[in-house]
Amino acid sequence: MRSGGPEAKHIMALRTFVVAGARPNFMKVAPLWVALAADPRHFAPRLVHTGQHYDPLLSDVFLRDLELPRPHVALGVGSGTHAEQTAGIMVAFERVCAEERPDLVLVVGDVNSTMACTLVAAKLEIPVAHVEAGLRSFDRSMPEEINRVVTDALSTYLFTPSRDADENLRREGISGGRVHFVGNVMIDSLRRFLPRISALRAHATYGLPPRGYALLTLHRPTNVDRPDACQQILAALEVIARRVPVLFPLHPRTRKSLASLGLEARLRGMAGLIVTEPMGYLEFLSLQQGAAFVMTDSGGVQEETTVLGIPCLTLRENTERPVTISEGTNQLVKPARDAIIDKALEVLHEPPRAGRIPEFWDGRAAERTVRVLLGEAMAQERRRP
């Protein structure tokens, strides 16, 4: 990291690339951006959008809802196979790093953009800070798990959202000095915008009463790309939607997969199922807050429902966020017809199980992260000859 020369009394503002690429990144980037921008004496942040998610419904609306600036750098990589997308991001990001020479690259989460930009920065010997480090599903069939492991191995600073993440990193031999438990930055965004989220009452837009509907999200390949798994989930929905309306914002990737499997017409003809376009951040959180329960395969939704106190059924065999089960409102449900129906009817008719909010999910994780980064930069400055 740069200094202002031997006579400088403090470090110069660190050129900090803040990388976002896909919808789950923006909620994590937003509070970090606010915390970095609030300290222009020490940080000069630049928002880098890789373009991994390029649909306006998955990108532009989130920038607007989260009050993020227009990206300073837009790589415009777009879709492709994992290899094509990762390679495209690496080539484009390396060029930008060579031109602008950042002092620090800050990445979040576990998408392809996270790993690709980390690889580039590590090879250019630029320090990398990984926010949301240490999460593990222990399922290497998940592309995100590969991204997590690689990113953590190469990062200079690792910021964890929960204590189990610290333990995972220790087991992998990552030294304690690189690991900092700061809490969950995505919850910073939720807490910041909660008054607006509550005021929206988005359920009324769809003619639904509070606690009178279920909310569904699906996008993982194991659920939407495999015909057998998809059929099992749809068969469960046909039963559940006759008991309680189910609102389903349809991810573009899921729509494409259902169409290729010949299942989209079955979905849209289902009684009690309300299929919508993808939603912005605020509207979707408002619908979570008003739901009787949520069914999902998303990592972030497991965390948001825990803080909102809404029962969550995660339609997966595993989760990289076990704290949402041990402390929160989340339950793992095998993505099979009978298992989903049984658990959905159970949460409909039984009192919700009590959960609690995990440690440091208090809306100040980004502040703690930036404070650590500043301390590390100053410590480096003191060590300079």
Residues with a catalytic annotation lie at 219
The DSSP element (H or E) to which 78 belongs, if any, is none
Which residues, at least 6 apart from 173, have a Cβ–Cβ distance to it below 8 Å?
none
Radius of gyration of the chain (CA): 21
Helix (H, G, I), strand (E, B) or coil at 49: strand
Name residue 363's beta-bridge partners. Answer: none
Check: CB of residue 377 under 8 Å from CB of residue 14. Answer: yes
Select from 306, 360, 298, 362 the least CA-distant residue to 329: 306
Secondary structure letter of residue 69 according to DSSP: P
- Tokens, residue 130: 């990984």
Kind of pairing between the strands at 214-216 and 157-160? unpaired
- What span, in angstroms and rounded, lies between the C-alpha atoms of 313 and 335? 10
Check: CB of residue 306 under 8 Å from CB of residue 276. Answer: no
Longest CA–CA span in the chain (Å) reads: 73
CA dist list (Å): 137 to 134, 165, 225, 284, 330: 10, 11, 20, 25, 15
- Tokens, residue 341: 């129906």
- What span, in angstroms and rounded, lies between the C-alpha atoms of 29 and 268? 34
- What span, in angstroms and rounded, lies between the C-alpha atoms of 372 and 368? 6
